[in-house]
A and B are shown apart, each in its own frame.
Chain A
Amino acid sequence: AQTVTQSQPEMSVQEAETVTLSCTYDTSESNYYLFWYKQPPSRQMILVIRQEAYKQQNATENRFSVNFQKAAKSFSLKISDSQLGDTAMYFCAFIPANAGGTSYGKLTFGQGTILTVHP
């Protein structure tokens, strides 16, 4: 069974600054995908960034980037130039790459980190 841990229940940052959210996971799978989702007060979960475990290069999407350390099973999210609209709950999630059998559709989520961006 996989587990995902987000050790920071809450974080805050000033507008325009940089913040890093932490995520660690545990799995015996050799290949898998990791995601960061954002859930603003509107409730809709929005995919921020994804990482394939077999790719060494860290994923980047505009102001969002990850630091993926496969050996350490760590997957942190860095938000640069923080904006007020980044205020939301952020979830780290995992799914095996060959999502067959008991893994179909089953994302395993961390408990989430509430990020507040202050003006």
Chain B
Amino acid sequence: KAGVTQTPRYLIKTRGQQVTLSCSPISGHRSVSWYQQTPGQGLQFLFEYFSETQRNKGNFPGRFSGRQFSNSRSEMNVSTLELGDSALYLCASSLARAGDGYTFGSGTRLTVV
């Protein structure tokens, strides 16, 4: 079966712009989580959605937002981009129970210049 699909794979944006990243989970998975990965901070949790509702949010500024659609696809948006937002953004999907494990996509590499 198809894995977690993230688009685009690479993105270059200018400071001050906004960006939208997309994630399509594994069919049947209703939980989608987002993570930011940087060399300095490692993997940090952004937020988690389940059945179109945000259930959990990490410690990121309000410029980071997300949503989930009725087909479980999710998008995350970053407004007013800063240089420090340059990172690999990973999406993970799950059947929603903690022990199910999370299947990750290949990520979107965002570079802010």
Contact = CB atoms under 8 A, between A and B. Distances in A.
Interface stretch (B13-21, B76-84, B88-96): B88-96
A8 interface: no
Nearest to A50: B101
B98 A97 contact: yes
Contact of A43 (B32, B88, B99): B88
A47 B103 contact: yes
Contacts of B42: 109-112
Give chain A's interface residue range (CB within 8 Å of chain B): 20 to 34
Nearest to B34: A105
B56 A45 contact: no
Interface of B: 31-33, 35, 42-43, 45, 47-50, 55-56, 58, 88, 90, 92, 94, 97-99, 101-107, 109
10 contacts: A43-B109, A44-B105, A45-B104, A99-B98, A104-B48, A104-B55, A104-B56, A105-B55, A105-B56, A111-B42
